[in-house]
Structure 1
């Protein structure tokens, strides 16, 4: 099934001309839609540049060919645009959601997130999705008239709700509900001033960005795991879809060298997953017949999704990677040490705020929880390298993360 070529904009796609706008009114750009402008603001942000030096799975000095948060983000963006194009959606909105989706990740990947979550256990915890909202609404300070990037409502809802509604449908039209107490503090505070309708699904463009993240993770973590020698192709055959694709390749190309074989495996895996999403999404859209993007939001389930068969394959890939990659002793040793680095930094800044840079010491809150979150904001923005530099500055011994 081919998914190439642009489609006319579907009636259920988000319409930049009908955007719900920005929290702070802004002059329109004569040559760009509001969603294209969101993409450009993310690309030019400091947080986006830092993704180049933030861990995906392997820390930066493991090698030049492993994914970083930036290369992962670009790969997610490419997949999201492919899905959006095939479904007749607004590609710029899909891109904006994909480009910004990991801006809140701390250094050292999910290890850093675990460390900060423990440090903030008494103050609401740490969640990288909520931190992304903090980055684009508060922590980026580039514009004279507002804090953050002042992105459109549609991009913000895509970042916050990319995995679906955060509140029950009963919350519609109500100022609060019991479930709000379980929301991350950052999200709860923000929606108090800018309602993102947390009870509804996001646009199809945001849904495309979310499933593109799964596709990129699955394919490229297999690629990185093979490159790192954490497992080989024979072991990867434990996953049925991988074995099937490898059999197809070997039937067509005999004596293919290892590098080309791996590349062809990853290329075909991405293709078959995208094609499945497009086919299943078209089926769901036809079944629900949404007239516009608001009908998409009111649906009782996501409309961009894997088929049942591919969803099972996705789970199998993730289970395989969990065992053979994310929990591999080599990765666990490095990430355990990385968690210790961030815990050390948090503890030192909390007990001795004078060790913070001047701009982060300025107006440091007195209230314990607010102060802890301010310190976490600083640490979450660090690159891997800067976190290690700071640790060496403040401590006599810093682990070698290799």
Structure 2
């Protein structure tokens, strides 16, 4: 239930320019500790200082850091095992920070509140479990009879329920109930990529993507009050494109730096066709003409700053970093220019506009995603590692089911004991596993199964 208004008004309870008063409402009303900060600055600070964000440092982005397959692969890359261990691929945390930097600048250029967009970008991956999308798949199978699992729905659950920051008393029982970080309505809406429950995708009912579990519907309905059905707000669209830009560009950068991607292979026709096959249906619609993807790839290869002949030298690393910067600027400027052409120069916020991303920019971004997918994610040793990780998550879920509340953190042990039925208890187990880092998941699995 929506909380009462704070005891006294402070300056930062006023909405920033371009936002109405409902955008800075919080589910549970609270006074301000420091007058003068905007509501969205407080939102950003709460996410930045959250334990959930820190845990992303131990969660896989694309390639697991410091694993045996990386060391074994050193024979192919020409690196020593120590160098393979020091490759330092991005984690979910570094990706989120980079996404936030991209989103903050793009949002500000379009008239959004930059702190609001940055808070959304920092929040967008908080609900992802250990082992990336691989762990997400395994948890979804385990949770099939209690509402499934989706990283974005889990992010909303974490922001509004799990992360301990604010509590309010239940009107029904009088007990203290967590309201998570108690972010503003606009911040929670901006972090919502898929504003619908499971099975309610507006164009594809079979899509696995959704943004809210059934038992989180009350706060979701409060967030979405007055919003058009199934439509993401403008800030969420900026966050979503910033996410695409950041991970498409940086995954290729990581792949080149680690020696998994040979830039010369992108000129060989069989290799190009294999990249396009990965892209079609996964990163672009199934009816996309491969010739369009070929043109997109050639546009990138024709750029003077493209990292041709990357060899890992200091000069090559500097050129690669410049190429990364050029690509991010290229994609952001394309979206900014097209959106301004459609809506003019005014402040664009909430539901006053749609982010316009030109088709050529989307195709170029999709090609980069497919390159990283083909040469980094689809390596044989990564496939074997992912298979082992899925088995580990499944075994961990089975062990927790059999032995809970043993193995649960104190926070989740209390929730497990208070759960009214088996479905609710299983959701607590899912919440516990999703909160683990890669390392803590391995450790807990070893403790409960060996």
TM-score bracket for this pair, using the shorter chain length: 0.7 to 0.9
**Contact conserved, 1:108 with 1:384, CA < 8 A, in 2?**
yes
Give the direction of change, closer, same or farther, for the CA distance of 1:344–1:20 in structure 2 (3 Å limit). Answer: same
Residue 388 (structure 1) aligned to one of 418, 432, 442: 442
Cross-structure match for 2:44: 39
In structure 2, distance between residues paired with 1:182 and 1:113: 14
Shift of 1:224: 1.3
Superposition deviation, residue 163 in structure 1: 5.1
Which of 413, 427, 430 in structure 2 is aligned with 1:361? 413
1:351 CA drift (Å): 1.5
- CA pair 275-231 structure 1, distance change in 2 beyond 3 A: same
Match of 2:229 in 1: 199
Q: Give the corresponding residue for 1:215.
A: 245
Change (3 A) 1:198 1:204: closer
Shift of 1:292: 6.8
Q: Does 1:244 align with 2:273?
A: no
Task: Flag structure 2 segments of 5+ consecutive residues without an equivalent.
Answer: 1-15, 68-84, 169-177, 203-209, 273-296
Does 2:105 match 1:105?
Answer: no
Give the secondary-structure state (helix, strand or coil) at the position aligned to 1:148. Answer: coil
User: 3-state SS of the aligned residue for 1:245?
Assistant: coil
Provide the TM-score with structure 1 as the length reference.
Answer: 0.81
Deviation string for 1:62-94 (max 9, x for gaps)?
Answer: 545210111000000000011012222210111
Give TM-score scaled by structure 2 length.
0.73
C-alpha deviations, 1:6-53, integer Å up to 9, x for none?
xxxxxx974376634111111134121001100001111110111111
Query: How far apart, in 1, do the equivalents of 2:406 and 2:27 lie?
Result: 35
Query: Taking CA–CA contacts closer than 8 Å with sequence separation of 6 or more, which of the two structures ends up with the larger relative contact order?
Result: 1
What are the equivalent positions in structure 2 for 1:178-197 lying under 5 Å apart?
A: 184-185=213-214, 187-192=216-221, 195-196=224-225, 197=227
**Structure 1 residue 327: Cα displacement:** 2.2
Q: Which one of 87, 95, 107 corresponds to residue 84 of structure 1? A: 107
Kept after mapping to 2: 8 A contact 1:225/1:231: yes
Contact 1:250 1:256 in 2 (8 A): no
| Counterpart residue number, 1:263 | 321
Structure 1: runs of 5 or more not aligned: 1-11, 170-180, 397-402
* DSSP-derived class of the 2:302 partner: helix
Deviation at 1:113, TM superposition (A): 0.5
Supply the RMSD in Å over aligned alpha carbons. Answer: 2.9
What's the offset of the Cα at 1:209?
1.2
Q: Identify the structure with the greater helix proportion.
A: 1
Answer whether contact 2:154 2:212 (CA < 8 A) is retained. Answer: no
Work out the number of aligned pairs and report it. Answer: 363
Superposition deviation, residue 204 in structure 1: 2.4
Contact 2:61 2:132 in 1 (8 A): yes
**CA shift in 2, pair 1:13/1:69, >3 Å:** farther
